[in-house]
Structure 1
């Protein structure tokens, strides 16, 4: 360990962390464990002393479902039903106003 003195005269200890390289098979196995909820990301980070940034990088790299930059849209069934009901009302109002026959697939 390296020692240095601060301006106040107290010595400070610095610990030099060893650089480690994990194999691709290890990373794939651990990503699978995380995705199958056998271990949480926080638990994994503490157990193996790995940063969460590294773990997320592994997930983006080795998971077929999670790719960086993709967006997941979550919509509840009740919201979907409400949206469909509103689209039906719009189509009915267009029909009443004589704006032509609306295409059923127009709003999808």
Structure 2
């Protein structure tokens, strides 16, 4: 530790095999550059340098830029989700109207009150009831 309170970091050495493993994880989409940096405590610059050195896809002189999802892409995903939820809501509404019609027809045709009322006595289940 220095007098100023700063801690000196010793320089770490990484094997070529480890570096290739890191680049492989990035190339196959297993981890982003930021997550690699955080997970292994390696600076972003070091990860970018290893990608330039060991990547099969990147050539020297080509700048690697990892793009985040654009706002437009996020908006499209959210719009699709809204459409799906509206479709499901419409189906549920149709099913609710169907059930209400069945209850109404049961009351009209068979004189059966399916709706639960607090005043309605519960059926014993084993009694024989007279029909009209």
User: Which sections of structure 2, spanning at least 5 residues, go unmatched?
Assistant: 64-132
CA distance in 1, matches of 2:47, 2:59: 13
Q: Which has the larger radius of gyration?
A: 2
The runs of 4+ residues in structure 1 deviating greater than 6 Å are none
Segments of 5+ residues of structure 1 without an aligned counterpart are 5-12, 72-108
Q: Which residue of 2 aligns with 1:20?
A: 12
- Going from structure 1 to structure 2, the CA distance change for 1:70 and 1:14 (only over 3 Å counts) comes to closer
Number of equivalences: 63
Shift of 1:25: 0.5
| Alpha-carbon separation, structure 2, partners of 1:44 and 1:61 | 16
TM-score normalised per structure 2: 0.44
Deviations 1:37-57 (A, max 9, x none): 111110111122211111111
Indicate the residue corresponding to 1:33 in structure 2: 25
Higher normalized strand content (fraction of residues): 1
What's the RMSD between the two structures over aligned residues?
A: 1.5
- The alpha carbon displacement at 1:24 in A equals 0.3
1:1-108, aligned counterparts within 5 Å? 1-4=1-4, 13-70=5-62
Structure 1 position 70, deviation (Å): 3.6
* Structure 2 residue matching 1:2: 3-state secondary structure: coil
